[in-house]
Amino acid sequence: MAQKKSLAAHPNAKGRANYQVPGRPLVGVIMGSTSDWETLEHTIQTLHALNVPHEARVVSAHRTPDLLFEYAASAERRGIEVIIAGAGGAAHLPGMTASKTVLPVLGVPVESKALLGLDSLLSIAQMPAGIPVGTLAIGKSGAINAALLAAAILGAKYPHIRESLREFRSSQTYRVLTNPYPAPNNSPTRKSKSPRA
């Protein structure tokens, strides 16, 4: 019963920003705990920026194992095409999810307090041969890149998502090229202040 209840729980439920994109969700974002939201919010923000319909749920491999199986086993049937799973510590969620579906599963290692996410990274990356999990970097970078990689996968089938990704990359390049100086005071066009006597 408690597990059924958490199926409806959205980590975004407590008055946080609304990142919904209209349409049938193509990406399922799951995380082991509400405490992972701080990291996985970057995934959601990036999917939102790319206009990729998605859903987000807390699904824990060890606290709600039945829900995990139900989620993973039903995802393909529900129209989900890529799953992003973020977890920290002994992070079983991505691997166990991958074991119950043939959909691509991308794992985001959440930075843990004890081992700074190295435990999460190794738990997610070191899958024995046969059940792959595409493992991203620890923390925010991995969370953002998981969304970008999901968009790249979906882009093979959905031209508008490929174009969103192309635009994202172009504007990122433009931002770097138009901000070449590491700090405002380093600009050669800015006069340096004369030192006080």
Chain positions contacting ligand RP5, by CB under 6 A: 32-33, 35-36, 60, 87-89, 110
Beta carbon of residue 97, minimum distance to ligand RP5 (angstroms, whole number): 12
- Cβ closest to ligand RP5, residue 27 vs residue 87: 87
Coil, strand or helix: which one is 131? coil
Residues sharing a CB contact under 8 Å with residue 117, sequence separation 6 or more, in sequence order: 88, 109, 110, 111, 138, 139
Beta carbon of residue 93, minimum distance to ligand RP5 (angstroms, whole number): 6
DSSP class of residue 16 equals: -
- Cβ closest to ligand RP5, residue 36 vs residue 41: 36
Angle, helices 37-49 vs 140-155, to 10°: value is 30
Beta carbon of residue 62, minimum distance to ligand RP5 (angstroms, whole number): 6
Residue with tokens 């790249």: 152
- Cβ closest to ligand RP5, residue 94 vs residue 155: 94
- Closest residue to ligand RP5, based on beta-carbon distance: 32
**C-alpha to C-alpha distances, 116 to 84, 91, 110, nearest whole angstrom:** 20, 13, 8
Identify the helix (H) or strand (E) that includes residue 110: strand 105-110
- Cβ closest to ligand RP5, residue 122 vs residue 152: 122
- Cβ closest to ligand RP5, residue 135 vs residue 164: 135
Coil, strand or helix: which one is 108? strand
Beta carbon of residue 56, minimum distance to ligand RP5 (angstroms, whole number): 14
Beta carbon of residue 174, minimum distance to ligand RP5 (angstroms, whole number): 35
